[in-house]
Structure 1
Amino acid sequence: MSGTARHHLTRRALLGAGTATALLSMAGVAPAVAAGTRRTAAGPAGARARGYAFLDAAMDAYPEHGTTRLAQSYTDQAGLFSTAFTYDNALAVLAHLARPGHTASARAVALGDALLYAQSHDPQYDDGRLRQAYNVGPYVYYDGSPQPDGFVRADGTANVGTQFGFTGTAVGDMAWAGIALAALAARTGADRFLTGAVRIGAWVEANARTDEPLGGYKFGVDGSGTKLPFTSTEHNIDLTSLFGRLARLTGEQVWLERRARAEAFVHRMWDASGGFFYTGSNDGVTVNTSPVPEDTQTWSYLALRERRHAGSLDWARTRLKVTDTADRPNSTVPAGQSYQGVTFSSASLVADEDAPIAPYQPKPDRSGVWFEGTAHLALALRERDAPGDARRAARLLASMEQGQDRLGQGQTVGGRALPERSGLVSASSPLDTGFGFGYYPYRHTGATAWYLMAIARANPLRGH
């Protein structure tokens, strides 16, 4: 087996059948460069309010297409039209539940109900699965074919994102949706949310459990239903949280056994000499040693809170640390601005700056800040609270707040202008993840939701 993870899919990679026609990575157009450098007074409270304003706008972009809806993941300029990723919407649920003064946010409930709708109105399956993404509004695809429906198609089925090949089902996406539904069940007491979360857990057990040497749970299935051979550390971290929540909410011990299986795989990915977690395995037998991603370092701590592995946060904050400035090769940061944080993986730091990230994509900036991961790290540092962690987290949060103020200006959702200075871009400049796709400076539901949870000290992975 090759030691590289170029062909090791991650939760964010395309999962459809025949995805080579899906414009490959994340966009079809070059990233917009933020305009303007004037800093306006904001502060954490104002920044948080504007973050929620963005989540609201992403959810309300297509009012003529009904109240059963998901939030569009990226601004229109990303070239993904009305795509709503399941993972991003699960995060939006959790961010809304962390919203100050909102005991059981109506928006969180509405998004949770939309996930349940997708689960029970899939055009092909009735087994509890969710797809990687859905369409939530009309558009005309690049080849001229129209996509006329909202989230609910004319025939009543959920509008699966077939145009871009987002038709597969990844265990990570399922776990996050299950975490969100379980959180809603705990907050509201509504049985429907727990039922949906249990269906997700049952699907994972039936379709992803493996008895391979490294154990754990496999990646999921592609759009044709074919099981994928990879086993992801990140996914198994997610499952420790989901299964733990299900054990607590249902009182059924079987979920604790399943949680232990997922956790055992995570522990097998620990590199004691380096102080970090590997990304997983391509075959269930051999550990994939490169690249090393950020999220396995931060999510492992958020989910497990293990003192013996807490050094993974230090690995992430030092080994993946970046500062993006306008004078960096391929940076799209405006002159006079600077952003600090972490990048996606060890491979992002050595990306080929002379070659596009993928066909039709721009060249990468090795120092591009991945704001979603920076928010993971800020929250994890606040959770750990070791000497210096509060100061480090504050610095990361300030960088994100500056990014919300200044980057991604003039972008739209559903053709509608966004509230001023609302929403975080996914990356300060184009960055190569090292896993075959990139992140770009488009305002993003997922990055914004993680920032909001970080500022609220709301750990979505500790529900057990």
Structure 2
Amino acid sequence: MTLPGPHDPGPHDPGPRGPAPDDRPSSTGRALDRRAFLALSGAGAAALTTLLAAPATATTASAAVLPTGGGHGGGHGGGARDSVRRAQAFLDVMTDAYPQQNPGPRLAQSYADQLGLFSTAFVYDNALAICASLTAGRAHLDRARALGDGFLFAQENDPAHDDGRLRQAYNVGPYVFYDGTPQEHGLVLPDGTANVGWQFGFLGTAVGDMAWPGIALLHLHAATRDHRYLRGALRIAEWIVANTWSTRPLGGFSFGVDAANAPVPNGSTEHNVDCVAFFRQLAAATRDRRWNRADEHARAFVDRMWEPDGGYLYTGTNDGTEINRDPLPLDPQTWGWLALRDRRYARALDWAADALAARDVAGDGVSQLPAGVTVEGVTFSSASLTSTASYNGLPVHPQGVWLEGTAQLAAALADRDGKGARGRDDRGRHGAGRRGDDDRDRAADLLREVRIAQDSVGAGQTVGGTSLPERSGVVAASSLIDTGFGFGYFQVQHVGATSWYLLAAAGANPLQVGGLR
């Protein structure tokens, strides 16, 4: 996640989610990604057809970028530790981009200005930013608390509802919209209500977009013992159970509600994985067994999505009755392991590493990489590898690398290392695929690829009109990619991608109790 982005019915924030591809409508027979559905169903849908001109072109790598083995562009020096420092600095700048809104509760702008969403802050991205901040101990605790307070403010001051929900996104700083209308305020409007993202239609509430802030608030409560964060997480949990508990044959939790507060019947594997993690962590924090029951309800849905012959999880369901088997996205595979640590799902990481592998080489096809640079990793879904779509006249690159997903895979492989990876699979056979001792090496290789992108792609981008620190944030994709769910990811610096990189670099697992320590 992400114009808005993941996935199946689901991933999370809007990736540089963009409007629907030029060569097909956004309404397909497939299960809609949470982000795509909520973005395109709102009042701002018409604006999405024009707001994303081609993303900022990657600048030519500086002379300091030297080729290394395998034809990759090398880093500018400083190593992994310096890369992490720069990535944390990016989160600082995105959080504090509008000084007139500080001090006080705030949320980070999700993407650099070049995406065209102005000061939009997606709640999924901000949940990740809280978790990434907490991996640094007390060094960035103030930032984590400011973002957590932003969630609590938005939850308590919704302009239309008083039921604990969060919207998909909020406005967090002033800007002038495309029609010339000034948007003068940040997160807090003059009447004291939250500045919801109505300009682009980001008004709905999705289960994954609730579970991730809930997870972040629980981690923040564990770090601070501030019970406000626990109470906020409880309100989120109560909203999910009250509004999305599905009684249809596949069970689990449905997608959420749209901008008009109408239920969306789709069910997302990824969202239900989120719920398993959230409710398990909430049960541990409260010792209340009702959250164990909610965890089990979500887990049963996820188990129904498992394909033992292929070794992967399906995306979800369009109607709560039939499984949606195509395309196959990355997130359920990586998060399925991180949340469940089930030996069956260990194989999904190997499936993802092989079936979704991408290698973006400058000068190859429509690659947008600077000369001399190669980035390897994984893409968003099986459909990404064969797409011929275009966004605003810009063709997608089937070998573009989804950097957020590449960092997710690195985090999952590092977490799998030594945790049952050599166990038997669900058919009683010894687990197949590349596993065990080389998981951490594979994770380290993927993180090096993310650092190549951090060093080489996204130069000259801005937030609130101010230049971003050099080589700080990680772009959403090495070149424009199509997710296969009606939206794309662009070469624009992204809080979500940067946060997943920081989580993976820290060896953290936000989907486990105590996973950030």
Aligned to 1:11: 34
Q: CA–CA distance in 2 between the matches of 1:305 and 1:349?
A: 28
Matched to 2:80, the amino acid is: P
Q: CA–CA distance in 2 between the matches of 1:47 and 1:9?
A: 35
Residue 228 of structure 1 aligns to a residue whose secondary structure is strand
> Pick from 445, 448, 456: which aligns with 2:498?
448
Q: 1:382 to 1:442 in 2, by over 3 A?
A: same
Q: CA–CA distance in 1 between the matches of 2:269 and 2:277?
A: 13
Task: Please say which of residues 169-178 and 9-18 is displaced more in the overlay.
Answer: 9-18
Aligned to 1:32: 56
Aligned to 1:23: 48
Matched to 1:450, the amino acid is: W
Q: CA–CA distance in 2 between the matches of 1:405 and 1:42?
A: 11
Q: CA–CA distance in 2 between the matches of 1:11 and 1:283?
A: 14
1:211 aligns with 2:244: no
1:87 aligns with 2:134: no
- How do residues 122-271 of structure 1 correspond to structure 2 at under 5 angstroms? 122-271=158-307
Aligned to 2:22: none
Count of matched residue pairs: 455
Matched to 1:157, the amino acid is: T
The TM-score with structure 2 as length reference comes to: 0.86
Indicate if the aligned counterparts of 1:138 and 1:148 stay in contact, CA closer than 8 A. Answer: yes
Q: 1:104 to 1:47 in 2, by over 3 A?
A: closer
Shift of residue 144, structure 1, vs aligned partner: 1.8
Residue 36 of structure 2 aligns to a residue whose secondary structure is coil
Indicate if the aligned counterparts of 1:6 and 1:436 stay in contact, CA closer than 8 A. Answer: no
- How do residues 324-335 of structure 1 correspond to structure 2 at under 5 angstroms? 324-335=360-371
Q: 1:280 to 1:24 in 2, by over 3 A?
A: farther
Shift of residue 328, structure 1, vs aligned partner: 2.6
Matched to 2:46, the amino acid is: T
Q: 1:305 to 1:105 in 2, by over 3 A?
A: same
- How do residues 397-412 of structure 1 correspond to structure 2 at under 5 angstroms? 397-412=447-462
Aligned to 2:88: 52
Q: CA–CA distance in 2 between the matches of 1:115 and 1:272?
A: 39
Aligned to 2:428: none
Task: Please say which of residues 181-190 and 315-324 is displaced more in the overlay.
Answer: 181-190
1:340 aligns with 2:376: yes
Q: CA–CA distance in 2 between the matches of 1:173 and 1:6?
A: 23
Shift of residue 155, structure 1, vs aligned partner: 1.1
Shift of residue 347, structure 1, vs aligned partner: 0.3
Shift of residue 121, structure 1, vs aligned partner: 0.5
Q: CA–CA distance in 1 between the matches of 2:59 and 2:361?
A: 14
Shift of residue 356, structure 1, vs aligned partner: 1.2
> Pick from 92, 100, 117: which aligns with 1:64?
100
Q: CA–CA distance in 1 between the matches of 2:175 and 2:228?
A: 32
Shift of residue 361, structure 1, vs aligned partner: 5.3
Listed as ranges, the gaps of 5+ residues in structure 1 are: none
Shift of residue 19, structure 1, vs aligned partner: 4.8
Q: CA–CA distance in 1 between the matches of 2:470 and 2:139?
A: 27
Indicate if the aligned counterparts of 2:30 and 2:326 stay in contact, CA closer than 8 A. Answer: no
Matched to 2:449, the amino acid is: S
Indicate if the aligned counterparts of 1:181 and 1:193 stay in contact, CA closer than 8 A. Answer: yes
**For each residue in 1:53-72, what CA deviation from the matched residue of structure 2 results, as whole angstroms up to 9, or x when unmatched?**
00000011100123221100
1:413 aligns with 2:463: yes
Q: CA–CA distance in 2 between the matches of 1:12 and 1:334?
A: 30
1:368 aligns with 2:400: yes
Shift of residue 334, structure 1, vs aligned partner: 1.1
Q: 1:183 to 1:103 in 2, by over 3 A?
A: farther
Matched to 2:119, the amino acid is: S
Shift of residue 14, structure 1, vs aligned partner: 4.3
Indicate if the aligned counterparts of 1:328 and 1:367 stay in contact, CA closer than 8 A. Answer: no
What is the Cα-based RMSD across aligned positions, in Å? 1.5
> Pick from 310, 313, 316: which aligns with 2:346?
310
Shift of residue 258, structure 1, vs aligned partner: 0.5
Q: 1:432 to 1:146 in 2, by over 3 A?
A: same
Shift of residue 11, structure 1, vs aligned partner: 2.8
Q: CA–CA distance in 2 between the matches of 1:98 and 1:252?
A: 27
Q: CA–CA distance in 2 between the matches of 1:192 and 1:22?
A: 37
Indicate if the aligned counterparts of 1:243 and 1:256 stay in contact, CA closer than 8 A. Answer: yes
Matched to 2:497, the amino acid is: A
**For each residue in 1:344-403, what CA deviation from the matched residue of structure 2 results, as whole angstroms up to 9, or x when unmatched?**
000000101xx414xx25210000000000000000000111122122111110010111
Residue 199 of structure 2 aligns to a residue whose secondary structure is coil
Shift of residue 22, structure 1, vs aligned partner: 3.8
